[in-house]
Amino acid sequence: ETGVTQSPTHLIKTRGQQVTLRCSSQSGHNTVSWYQQALGQGPQFIFQYYREEENGRGNFPPRFSGLQFPNYSSELNVNALELDDSALYLCASSLVTHFSTDTQYFGPGTRLTVL
């Protein structure tokens, strides 16, 4: 098991609401990436945070936003929830130096259901 943790484990929301998901990175890691995994599909990259700044973003609208804190933990915020936002949200932590590619280790995920 990795040292990456996420909370909450499960969450049920209704359309239009807002949600905040949390991720604690593995000790020694400085980068957190967020992915959305719909049922039966591979994870889709949402964005990455490095040194508290967004460092790359996938094809997700601005209502998906995030934060990274000085201890490298991170939050994913989704506003104006839609039914299609129902998915498993995964965070992955890694150690990035000089922007080199590095192994990403995933947390257990947060299962979000939007009704």
Binding site for other proteins (CB under 8 A): 2, 31, 33, 35, 40-45, 48, 55-56, 58-59, 90, 92, 94, 96, 99-109
Choice between 37 and 73, CB closer to other proteins: 37
Shortest reach from residue 15's CB to other proteins, in Å: 25
Q: How many CB atoms lie within 10 A of CB 64?
A: 18
State how far the Cα of 66 lies from the Cα of 94, in Å rounded to an integer. 17
DSSP three-state, residue 106: strand
Choice between 15 and 102, CB closer to other proteins: 102
Shortest reach from residue 4's CB to other proteins, in Å: 8
Shortest reach from residue 81's CB to other proteins, in Å: 23
CA distances to 30, 36, 48, 87 from 40, rounded to whole Å, are 30, 12, 23, 10
Choice between 18 and 96, CB closer to other proteins: 96
Shortest reach from residue 109's CB to other proteins, in Å: 6
